[in-house]
Amino acid sequence: MLLPIAGKSLILHTLDRARSAKSVDRVIVATDDERIRDVVCGAGGEAVMTSREHRSGSDRIAEVAELLPKGTIIVNVQGDEPVISPETIDRAVDALIQDDSADISTTFEPITSLGELLNGNNVKVVLGDRGYAVHFSRSPMPWPREASLRYGGDPNRAIREEPDLLVNYRKHTGLYVYRRDYLLRFTKLPQTRLEQYEMLEQLRALENGARIKVVEAAGRSIGVDLVGQPGAERLSDGRGHR
């Protein structure tokens, strides 16, 4: 979070992007690290110290949400997204506001290559016809059954030979918008076996009946989770650590 990018800490770039969203009235950095708090406050931002015991970003955000008014809409932006589009944030907020039946909204980006599809660090989301999430997984989904049969049952070859099949795949970007009351309920639910197996907390929400509206991001973002390793510019563990 404190690594310098163009002369400014990574977290401050993310803070600026969140502030630029038209739908956002207040930006709070939730952290358990005093160094991050000091940098944010020193730059004129707002930071709240939270417990070190949280297992996920949603848990950390929920601690702050307890202090906010009922009816608040809460946007959970990962601190390691320094180039996230403010328009993407606005799209996700609007999707939740416009759909009273949705508990959460989130975003996706198109998948444009087989390598991107097969990368387990990229979480895939499957949508139903009405734009709600049906499943999230690190595995490639959905299975291109008919196309794979044309190539001896090999789905990878099918996608290489017919790249237009990639239009059926979507990468989950990890931005969440919650209704405050739902967030507080969600974080009190026990972790599910499937959530623990894939290390994806959104599966807990789905397994407990949440309706998750999914909209396309305004542009591609870059998450920074690992530094100094091959491919570090886009490795996201999907566990929501902020």
pLDDT of residue 229: 44
SS3 of 175-213 = EEEEEHHHHHHHCCCCCCHHHHHHCCCHHHHHHCCCCEE
* pTM across the whole model: 0.86
pLDDT of residue 226: 53
pLDDT of residue 215: 97
pLDDT of residue 95: 97
- At residue 129, the 3 state secondary structure works out as coil
Two structure tokens written together for 126: 């499957």
Q: What is the rounded CA–CA span in Å between residue 212 and residue 176?
A: 9
pLDDT average, residue stretch 99-120: 96
Q: At what angle do helices 34-42 and 10-19 cross, to 10 degrees?
A: 50
Instruction: List Cβ<8 Å contacts ≥24 apart for 224-227.
Output: 224/3, 224/10, 224/80, 224/82, 225/80, 227/3
Buried b (16+ CB within 10 A) or exposed e, 42-79: eeebebeebeeebebbbbbbbbbbeeeeeeebbbbbbb
pLDDT of residue 190: 94
pLDDT average, residue stretch 33-57: 94
pLDDT of residue 231: 41
pLDDT of residue 235: 29
Two structure tokens written together for 167: 């239009």
pLDDT of residue 174: 83
Per-residue pLDDT at 90 exceeds 60: yes
pLDDT average, residue stretch 123-145: 96
Highest mean pLDDT: which range of 1-5, 41-45, 230-234: 41-45
Q: Which amino acid is at 47?
A: A
Q: How far is CA 111 from CA 80, 95, 124, 165, 218, in A?
A: 21, 22, 9, 10, 14
- At residue 27, the 3 state secondary structure works out as coil
pLDDT bin (cut points 50, 70, 90) of residue 114 is very high
pLDDT of residue 57: 86
38 vs 80, residue with greater confidence: 38
Share of the chain above pLDDT 90, in %: 84
* Mean pLDDT score of the chain: 90
Identify the helix (H) or strand (E) that includes residue 124. Answer: strand 124-127
pLDDT of residue 55: 83
Per-residue pLDDT at 134 exceeds 90: yes
pLDDT average, residue stretch 166-172: 96
pLDDT average, residue stretch 208-214: 97
Per-residue pLDDT at 138 exceeds 90: yes
Per-residue pLDDT at 221 exceeds 80: no
pLDDT average, residue stretch 97-119: 96
Q: Which domains are delineated in the chain?
A: 4-234 (3.90.550.10)
Cis peptide upstream of residue 142 (ω within 30 degrees of 0)? yes
Question: In 3D, which of 210, 141, 145 has the Cα closest to residue 179?
Answer: 210
* Maximum distance among all Cα pairs of the chain, rounded to whole angstroms: 61
Share of the chain above pLDDT 70, in %: 91
Contact call for residues 143 and 81 (beta carbons, < 8 A): no
Show Cβ contacts of residue 123 under 8 Å, excluding neighbours closer than 6 positions: 136, 137, 138, 171, 172, 174, 200, 236, 238
Q: What are phi and psi of 14, to 5 degrees?
A: -65, -40
Identify the helix (H) or strand (E) that includes residue 16. Answer: helix 10-19
Contact call for residues 110 and 215 (beta carbons, < 8 A): no
